[in-house]
Amino acid sequence: MSFTEFRFFLFAAIVILAYYLLPKKIQWLVVLAASVIFYLTYGWRKIIFILLATWITWATGAWISNVYQKEADATTAKKRCKPVLLLSVGILIALLLYAKIGSWVIETMTQLLEFQQLSSIEIIVALGVSYYTFSLISYLADVYWRKDQAEHSYFRLLLFTIYFPKILQGPISRHKYLAPQLREFHKFDYREFCYGLQLMIWGYFKKMVIADRLAVVVNTVFGTPDAYAGSHFLVAACFATVQLYCDFSGCMDIAGGFSQILGLKLEANFNHPFFSRSAAEFWRRWHITLGTWFKDYVYMPLAVSPTLIGVSKKLRQKFGPRVGKSVMTVVPLAIVWILTGLWHSTGWNYVVWGLYWGAMIICSNVFAPEIKKLNRLLHINTEVGSWKVFQMVRTFLLFTVGRILTVPGDLAVSGKIFQKLLFDFQPAVLVDGSLYTLGLDRPNFILGVLCIFILWTASMLQEKGSVRDRIAGCNIVFRWAIYYIAFFSILIFGMYGPGYDAASFVYMNF
Amino acid sequence: MEEKVLKVLQEECPEVDFFASEELVNDGILDSLTLTTIIAALTMEFGIVIPYEEIIEENFNSVAAMAAMVERLSR
């Protein structure tokens, strides 16, 4: 059951009614039951994996907590717990790898060993495996580092893991943030209900009106790369960037809006990333929960590990402070970005994509003094509006280059596209009307561009303050006019044509 | 201790105004890159090991908090 299916609306309505009409004591059980039902709609076998992963995590967390309570010496307790923690995290990662590379391993082994029986093994990919695995690892690490309390009830931890609005595409929730909210009783709040509904409508608008409309052009052009010129790819790649943003952030708005109706607040996953002035800032504003996860559980532990500090000290003595400092930035960032690429997919295109962003962020850090000097030398005032706009456009284009690396799914095709962009651009395509032959007719294409403008305007207003607060402050006629326009624009302009698969979200595959 | 810590911090991160706020991490004055630089500098200068559970906002929000942490870990 996807957020865009009609049966989801019925399901959501029943959940909201049961949540507020049944006794508050069992609110968490209502959400747990709803989440299990939601998960089961994707097949009963998938649920075994999430139940198992949660059980391993719960048992380990409870055991660590027990050791910490009984052992008087904190250092000894930590030493006792470390192997168990590593074993559990290892099992969680093994389950993740099974889902991620299981098919590839079987395929390779079948080819290498010529053992055909292997090919009959079916790999079951648990829904949301990348998201819940990371949430569970963070929970275990936090319990181990005494930054969070262990959950005593298995079913409470299961609710945190399987909570259905976030299971499809995240956010990668932290237990210490979400679990207390899931424990509390929630009274119906009309304001929260309206705000949640508004956020859901905005999410559906982004997903069904913008992302799915632009996806038609993206799929047409990237699906038959030999048939198109560089300018086609420029338009399609820019559309692919906006499409991914609207698809992913739209899903987050639907999940966040529904949670708000239940009185729950999910972590923000987006903060208008295309207003970022640098690659590093972009990744602090795009898929925020993945970025903070890598920062807290990979980057920081690596960067402050005694081994790396020791290496940094030696290099500092030999080559000076700058080299010593740089090694502490370069090594953890390189590892984080390779892992970020692999988190998305195990293909080479994602490895290169990870290296592309990693190299950019590492260079901007390591060469920050030179970049500053160059700006001074060229008399560039980095605080004027025009320079800020330039930086934002640059961020958008950098992301678009990244999309060209990943959308075709084959590095050789990506290479061909870059070649066409440089040597076979054919600018006339942009004005001779052939853009209207890429799957969207003229009115639909213009509507797509208009919607991007609406998105940009809304984002600008959101940067200046809450748009929902402003709408709430308007008179009732204007307020309801906005709601009706938004609602009917989804009904009228949403993409439902033949061959359109409303069930799939891009980030659901990760 | 506070003076010693401040000296190390100013040498390592001359661009940071450590008195701009009493919540250096929460206010975004110290980002993760600056934090790792500070942790490495304190580790090298005072010969301490800062366990990961000590790396929380409260221990790095001010010079006084960092000095208190160094003092505690030096014992």
Question: Which range, A4-8, A10-14, A491-495, is most confident?
Answer: A10-14
Average pLDDT over residues A73-91: 93
Are A389 and A452 in a shared domain? yes
Tokens of A184: 């509390």
Asked if A309 and B39 come within 8 Å (Cβ–Cβ), the reply is yes
Looking at the complex, does the CB of residue B28 fall below 8 Å from at least one CB of chain A?
no
**Cβ contact B54:B73 at 8 Å:** yes
Q: Is the pLDDT of residue A503 over 50?
A: no
Give pLDDT, residue A15: 97
Average pLDDT along chain A: 90
Give pLDDT, residue A478: 84
Instruction: Quote the percentage of chain A above a pLDDT of 90.
Output: 65
> Which residues of chain A neighbour B52 with C-beta distances below 8 Å?
145, 300-301, 304
Q: Is the pLDDT of residue A509 over 80?
A: no
Are A165 and A205 in a shared domain? no
**Which of A175-184, A216-225, A486-495 is predicted least confidently?**
A486-495
CA–CA separation, A270 vs A47, rounded Å? 28
ipTM comes to 0.86
Are A491 and A390 in a shared domain? yes
Looking at the complex, does the CB of residue A149 fall below 8 Å from at least one CB of chain B?
no
> Which residues of chain B neighbour A295 with C-beta distances below 8 Å?
32
Give pLDDT, residue A415: 94
**Which of A224-238, A404-418, A494-508 is predicted least confidently?**
A494-508
Give pLDDT, residue A498: 47
DSSP letter at A296? I
Q: First CA to last CA across chain A, in angstroms?
A: 17
Are A204 and A70 in a shared domain? no
Q: Spell out the alpha helix ranges (H) of A207-276.
A: 212-223, 230-261
**Cβ contact A200:A250 at 8 Å:** no
Size of the A and B interface in Cβ pairs below 8 Å: 42
Asked if B39 and A295 come within 8 Å (Cβ–Cβ), the reply is no
Average pLDDT over residues A469-473: 80
Interface residue of A68, A145, A309 to substitute, partner B, most B CBs within 10 Å: A309
Are A452 and A504 in a shared domain? yes
**Which of A78-92, A148-162, A173-187, A426-440 is predicted least confidently?**
A426-440
Q: A427 or A35: which carries more pLDDT confidence? A: A35
Looking at the complex, does the CB of residue B47 fall below 8 Å from at least one CB of chain A?
no
Host domain of residue B27: 2-74
Average pLDDT over residues A122-142: 92
**Which of A279-283, A452-456, B49-53 is predicted least confidently?**
B49-53
Give how many domains chain A has, as a whole number: 2
> Which residues of chain B neighbour A304 with C-beta distances below 8 Å?
36, 39-40, 43, 50, 52, 55
Distance of residue B22 Cα from the nearest chain A Cα, in angstroms: 22
Q: Spell out the alpha helix ranges (H) of A41-73.
A: 44-70
**Residue whose C-alpha is closest to residue A99's, from A74, A73, A68, A132:** A132
Last residue of a domain, which of A187, A203, A219? A187
Q: Is the pLDDT of residue A510 over 70?
A: no
Average pLDDT over residues A73-97: 93
Interface residue of B33, B34, B56, B72 to substitute, partner A, most A CBs within 10 Å: B33
Give pLDDT, residue A507: 61
Looking at the complex, does the CB of residue A310 fall below 8 Å from at least one CB of chain B?
no
For residue A128, the SS3 value is: coil
Tokens of A326: 């740089």
Are A126 and A267 in a shared domain? no
Host domain of residue A411: 192-279+343-509
